[in-house]
Chains A and B, each alone.
Chain A
Amino acid sequence: MKAENKELPVEVMELQMGPSHPATHGTIKFNLKLEGEKVLDCDVEVGFLHRGFDKSCEQATWTQVIPYTDRLNYASSLINNVGYALAVEKLIGVETPARCQYIRVIASELARIFDHLTCCGMAASELGAITVGFYMIEARETIMRIVESLTGARLTVTYVRIGGVKHDLSHDFAEQVTQAFKTIRRLLDDCDRLLSRNRIFIDRMSNVGTISREKAISYCLTGPILRSTGVNYDVRKAYPYLVYDQLAFDVPLGTKGDNYDRFVCRIQEIEQSMRIVEQALAQLPVGSVWIDDPRFVLPEKEKVYNSIEGLMHHFKIIMEGIHVPPGETYFAVEGGNGELGFYLVSDGGGRPYRVRVRPPCFIAMGVFHEMIKGYMVADIVPTFGMINMIGGECDR
């Protein structure tokens, strides 16, 4: 009681953190109400990167939307490509050949590793563990090299097409992956030794930004944030798409739902993703990477340049777009940050009538005020870091 009386009366201070703040890697603004250093309330302002994704998609053909999806979550653009292509294929009612499905799984998992390494590396380096940040960026670079050799681009890849993928894997792809995974495992071991029993890191992460299981469900959270509270929901297991039901992998779960659990979930998911890629490469069937359907697939260049039918075919697909039957559908894949869903409406033309993305990190930002209430200003940094908000996806 005595100690309480000694406390000085504190004035409530309003502080605006952002939109450009070095610790919030992404353009976002927190309107904070502070009592000393304690956060009383936090109002999150998003939308600084809004560029009208939905409206732009309505102007483009179904194929032209794919480059737009790259710019959603640019840390895992391959997953966005795959999710969009699968949604359109579901609306058309076709299925790609087995080899294409395996390649899409491999591409998605490489992107997931990339996403988690970015998130964990940045979060650790913001807490002062800059060595870990560098190690993880080195690990990320190995993935980036593979993605570059696979797609020809490092970030905005546009690799997946409706009805296939741009081209097949290169002949030394498996070898590259083996080498890269060796490096990543070594680096992650080092990071583990640097962080797992590190007093400072655990103090900053453990029991901070806690969210209960009921709240996580009520706030529609998915991905590592939901799984860190112990809810076993992973789209890859719950609604297996592509060939995930033929691959063995575990879903890492947390118990407390704090930042440390989220971090551990992500790190363990990297290992699981590597397992998936290794299995998929071992099982990879031979065959075509395109569906055998001229309505959706561009003709070979040889036909385009040497025959009038080929040229017309090419022209029709490029200028009018592929024709998707009227209807609406929702298809979700497991993105790096959670359920990445595409809700598509077609009116039967060559352009989408409506494209809606369910952005996992936009929804996660809706719960941020609950996560941070009662904690210190400094706790915003790791909590925000573990949500892994990507401006391109959050604000669209």
Chain B
Amino acid sequence: MPETSTILDTIKEKLGGKVVETLQFRGDDVVILARQELRESFRFLKDDTRLRFDFLSDITAVDYWKKKEPRFEVVYQLLSLQRRRRLRVRVPVPEDDPTVESLTPLWQGANFLEREVWDLFGITFVDHPDLRRILLYEEFQGHPLRKDYPVNLCQPRVPELKVEGTFVDERSRNKLLRLKHELAQKS
């Protein structure tokens, strides 16, 4: 398809050294980008009039433990709402420094998606406004979707938390106590 190859050519031409590789597989266009100045690369993909990939469909990651170097790959699915085209951007991330620039300033929806990737893979997103665990709980140790995390690993039960500012209706509690007391006295 001549049209799709022009997209990849445009990206290669404009982003130059940041493009590691472009490839097509089963009709999908894939760009492998270096993680340096990632946000600027995405800003270009989003704003360039020839590309206009203005919709971020998904962010996820893959762990190629002992299979590929660098170990992780963060995968972005982009979409052009006007041109009706998809593009997949893969960003290799090494194990010793798992950080990527956050895309939250470009798409606010990246917030939840990046939190999930951090939660399950332990990849840090620089400049993310609120990088907390999202699917798992704060006390969880490790990142379960890494391939070196055992499937059957059990984690200890977390003690019940005393949450500050919890609203407790003292009147109903007193009433319950009184009722209990009265019952005890009757019997």
Listed in ascending order, the chain A residues whose CB lies under 8 Å from chain B are 13-16, 46-47, 50, 52, 54-55, 59, 90-91, 93, 215, 217-221, 231, 233, 238-239, 327-330, 332, 339, 341, 343, 345, 347, 353-354, 356, 358, 362-363, 365-367, 395-396
Contact = CB atoms under 8 A, between A and B. Distances in A.
Contacts of B81: 217, 231, 233
Contact of A358 (B25, B62, B77, B137): B77
A327 B135 contact: no
Given A54-B145, A366-B111, A91 B84 contact: no
Interface of B: 25-26, 28, 54-58, 60, 62-63, 67, 75, 77, 81, 84, 86, 88, 107-113, 116, 120, 133-137, 144-145, 151, 163, 165-167
Nearest to A44: B112
Given A46-B134, A218-B108, A330-B86, 7 more contacts: A55-B144, A219-B107, A220-B109, A233-B55, A239-B84, A356-B60, A396-B135
Contacts of B60: 343, 356
B98 to A, nearest CB: 17
9 contacts: A16-B163, A47-B137, A91-B26, A217-B81, A328-B75, A329-B26, A354-B62, A356-B60, A363-B113
Given A54-B145, A221-B109, A356-B60, A329 B77 contact: no
A359 to B, nearest CB: 9
Contacts of A362: 112, 116
A362 to B, nearest CB: 7
A363 B116 CA distance: 11
A218 B14 CA distance: 24
Contacts of B84: 238-239
B134 to A, nearest CB: 6
Given A13-B167, A366-B112, A396-B135, A220 B107 contact: yes
B66 to A, nearest CB: 12
A63 B107 CA distance: 35
Contact of B134 (A47, A217, A329): A47
Contacts of A215: 108
Nearest to B63: A354
A343 B58 contact: yes
A46 B135 contact: yes
A375 to B, nearest CB: 19
Contacts of A396: 135
B25 A328 contact: yes
B112 A363 contact: yes
A329 B25 CA distance: 8
Nearest to B133: A47
Contacts of A354: 62-63
A363 B25 CA distance: 27
Contacts of B26: 90-91, 93, 327, 329
Given A47-B135, A347-B67, A396-B135, A54 B120 contact: yes
Contacts of B63: 354
A50 B136 contact: yes
Given A14-B165, A327-B25, A329-B26, A339 B57 contact: yes
B136 A47 contact: yes
Contacts of A59: 151
A329 B77 CA distance: 10
Residue in A16, A90, A220, A353 with the greatest tally of chain B CB atoms within 10 Å: A220
Residue in B28, B56, B109, B110 with the greatest tally of chain A CB atoms within 10 Å: B109
Contacts of A367: 108-109
Contact of B55 (A91, A220, A347): A220
B187 to A, nearest CB: 33
A358 B109 CA distance: 13
A219 B108 contact: yes
Contact of B107 (A46, A218, A330, A345): A218
Contacts of A356: 58, 60, 75
Contacts of B163: 16
B107 A52 contact: no
Nearest to A222: B57
A114 B132 CA distance: 35
A16 B110 CA distance: 25
A294 to B, nearest CB: 22
B166 A16 contact: yes
A341 B144 CA distance: 22
Contact of A330 (B88, B111, B120): B88
Contacts of B110: 220
Contacts of A345: 62
B144 A52 contact: yes
A347 B66 CA distance: 13
Nearest to A90: B26
Contacts of B28: 329-330
Contacts of A238: 84
A31 B165 CA distance: 11
B135 A220 contact: no
A395 B67 CA distance: 29
A317 B88 CA distance: 31
